Amino acid sequence: MELPYAEPYKIKVVESIRKSTRREREDWIKKAGYNLFRLPSEQVFIDLLTDSGTGAMSDNQWAEIMRGDESYAGSKSYFKLHEVIKDLLGMPYFLPTHQGRAAENVLFSALIKKDDIVPGNSHFDTTKGHIEFRNASAFDCTIDEAFDTTGIHPFKGNIDLQKLEEVFKKYPEEKIPLCIITVTCNTSGGQPVSMKNIKEVSALCKKYGIKLIFDAARFAENAYFIKTREKGYENKSIGEIVKQMFSYVDGATMSSKKDAIVNIGGFIALRDEELFNKASVYNIMFEGYLTYGGMAGRDMAALAEGLIEGTDFQYLESRIGQVEYLGKKLKEFNIPIQEPIGGHAVFVDAKRFMLNLPREHFQAQTLAVELYKEGGVRGVEIGTLLADRDPITRKNRYPDLELLRLAIPRRVYTNNHMDYVATCLANIYERRGELKTGYKIVKEAPIMRHFTVELEKV
């Protein structure tokens, strides 16, 4: 008999989670203004709000926490992390930051000015926020296939070269300080970018004299997809694939809270000394001195170990395998999800799920609230609330995709938890025809409103 799959780790520490009643949850979510970000975590049974900073560290990472060197300048842990980054990504320069958006803030301070254009595949919301905050614009050049959740394409994170070249032709070089490839592309569904596409985008950027930067939050998961889906890479190691991916870019911003399996941290990796020197000034101003930049020594030490563990093939196979497990369960219940299944999350297509709910009622948010009420499961809306208003017209922007994201923390839940989540959604799917009214906004922030927005039933 062929042996069944089993995780390449065992569990040493557990944390209790508590089930609640539907009555309690209805009360709690109302008090939270129907915004799941506003719920205290004790009111959540299974938390799939994000895979960011929520992973379980290993025994070796916890050992690194004890080994961390807290020296203000020249910390051992800084040098350890620098060695791992150089070795893994092949980037000679690096700046530690407290998380991914801080890396964006520092690097963009050095690069972006008013009226600039920053093309890429779909930018993550903090990335777009940091671009628009500087009165510049983010242009989405993702391939059209990404916006059809039913079409199968192995690399839905890819950039459409024609769309990108149009931007390069339309605007002068000095207005385009950088192009960003987000690997994997969170906004379009945790979808990977192929090596071929990275290489071609890189060549196009070189032709027009434009810097190419990775938003590298989930670079290891992207490498796993290249290995398992792209011809010619099946026999390459994750390490070799990662090195090759980074060989095509000038640098990267990294939220270490994802693929590096730490609870906090980020960094900027760069190839060019001049840009490093320029960014260093902002790093000292916004984050901290060059050898800690917003991170404790112990956190840098755990991050160095996390980068090694996060790029291990067996680990990635189990991690992405669990995401796929949940996706397949949902498909068995005929629930519409984005396909192929993404690397860090399953994205439920709320437009296809919510048959009788108008878009103005926030379809994905309504589904997220229903799922919470059904079983205490917290997902997150990746749709109209997240898309914010147009900065000029102040009208709601209706994105092509209206998704409920179920992001799976790394090494945290078992497949029994996944079965529970799938059953909750199946129950809602059965009564989807009755869901005819959703929510309206009563209070919102001018930018990144989804974190604090307050809603009311229509």
Catalytic one among 108, 124, 347, 413? 124
Q: Which is nearer to ligand F0G, 49 or 357 (CB)?
A: 49
- CB atoms under 10 Å from CB of 104, counted, come to 28
By the 10 Å C-beta count (0-12 exposed, 13-18 middle, 19+ buried), 396 is classed as: middle
124 is an active site residue:
yes
Segment contacting ligand F0G by CB under 6 A, of 9-17, 84-92, 97-105, 110-118: 97-105
Catalytic one among 5, 72, 398, 451? 72
Q: Which is nearer to ligand F0G, 263 or 427 (CB)?
A: 263
Distance of CA 268 to the CA centre of its chain: 16
Taking residues 182 to 211 in sequence order and writing x for each that binds ligand F0G by CB under 6 A, - otherwise, the string is x---x-------------------------
Out of 143, 217, 403, 435, the only residue in the binding site for ligand F0G (CB under 6 A) is 217
Out of 75, 255, 283, 322, the only residue in the binding site for ligand F0G (CB under 6 A) is 255
Residue written as tokens 């529970």?
420
> In the complex, what is the shortest distance from the CB of residue 66 to ligand F0G, in angstroms, rounded to a whole number?
24
* Total number of residues that touch ligand F0G (CB under 6 A): 15
Helix axis angle for 415-430 and 313-332, nearest 10°, is 20
Segment contacting ligand F0G by CB under 6 A, of 120-128, 129-137, 242-250, 281-289: 120-128
Out of 109, 121, 122, 127, the only residue in the binding site for ligand F0G (CB under 6 A) is 127
Tokens of 270: 């760069």
12 is an active site residue:
no
217 is an active site residue:
yes
Residues 8-67, interacting with ligand F0G (CB under 6 A): 50, 52
Q: Which is nearer to ligand F0G, 256 or 291 (CB)?
A: 256
- What is the number of the residue whose Cβ is closest to ligand F0G? 100
Segment contacting ligand F0G by CB under 6 A, of 86-94, 99-107, 162-170, 357-365: 99-107
Spatial separation of the C-alpha atoms in residues 179 and 238, rounded to whole Å = 25
410 lies in the site for ligand F0G, by CB under 6 A: no
Give me the amino acid identity at 94.
Answer: F
Segment contacting ligand F0G by CB under 6 A, of 39-47, 124-132, 197-205, 229-237: 124-132
Tokens of 47: 């938390």
By the 10 Å C-beta count (0-12 exposed, 13-18 middle, 19+ buried), 83 is classed as: exposed
By the criterion CB under 6 A, which residues form the site for ligand F0G?
A: 50, 52, 99-101, 124, 126-127, 182, 186, 215, 217, 255, 257, 266
